[in-house]
Amino acid sequence: MAEPMRIRATMAGDVADVKVLMNHPMETGLRKDAKTGQMIPAHFITEVIATVNGTPVLAAEMSGGISKNPYLGFKVKGPKAGDKVAVSWADNKGDKNSVEATIG
């Protein structure tokens, strides 16, 4: 169901610079549908986990306060070009998605 996540991971000196774009409506549950007048149910990514070569580097809790189609940038010291970075998310409805990339 979920669109593929986009990820860019490059080495900048000895730091891996990782940028991720997730696809998600990130509904807060506080918005009204203009046409029906009904409240749009809350539907947002609640957690994001990132690993480098399997080692967790980031465990984030998110809310509807993060913009639609969440963007996340983080940096890790230690990896080398060729290492694998994986990012996955789960939302409040139990949907999930993940992506893996090789650090360039």
Partner 1 sequence: MNALRRNVLKGAAGAGAVAVAVAAGLLKPTQAMAAWNKAAFDAKNVGAALNGIGVADPADSKDITIKAPDIAENGAVVPVEVTSDIAGTTSIAILAEKNASPLVSNFNLSGGALGFISTRIKMGQTSLVRAVVKAGGKSYTAAKEVKVTIGGCGG
Partner 2 sequence: MKQKIIMKLLAGMAGLGIALGAASVHASPEKDRQELIKYYMNKYPDVKVEDYVYGALAFDADSKAQYDAIMEFPPYDSEIDKGRKMWETPFKNGKTYANCLPNGGKHIAGNYPLFDEAKGKVVTLHDAINDCRTANGEEAFKVDDMKTMGLLTAYMRTLSDGMMMNIKVEGPKAMAAYEDGKKTFFSRKGQLNFACATCHVQNAGNHLRSELISPVIGHAVHWPVFRGGDNLFTLQRRYQGCFKQVRAVPPPQGGTTLNNLEYFHSALSNGLPLKASVFRK
Q: How many other CB atoms are there within 10 angstroms of residue 101's CB atom?
A: 18
Determine if 12 is a binding residue for partner 1 (CB under 8 A).
Answer: no
Region of 37 please: left (phi>0), alpha (psi -120 to 50) or beta.
Answer: left
Build a one-symbol-per-residue string for 25-54: x at contacts with partner 1 by CB under 8 A, - elsewhere. ---x-x---------------xxxx-xxxx
Determine if 62 is a binding residue for partner 1 (CB under 8 A).
Answer: yes
Q: Which is nearer to partner 2, 19 or 43 (CB)?
A: 19
In angstroms, rounded to a whole number, what is the distance separating the alpha carbons of residues 17 and 61? Answer: 20
Judged by CB under 8 A, the number of residues near partner 1 is 44
Contact 79, 32 (CB under 8 A): no
Build a one-symbol-per-residue string for 67-96: x at contacts with partner 1 by CB under 8 A, - elsewhere. xx-xxxxxxxxxx------x-xxx-x-x-x
Determine if 66 is a binding residue for partner 1 (CB under 8 A).
Answer: yes
C-alpha 79 chain-centroid distance: 20
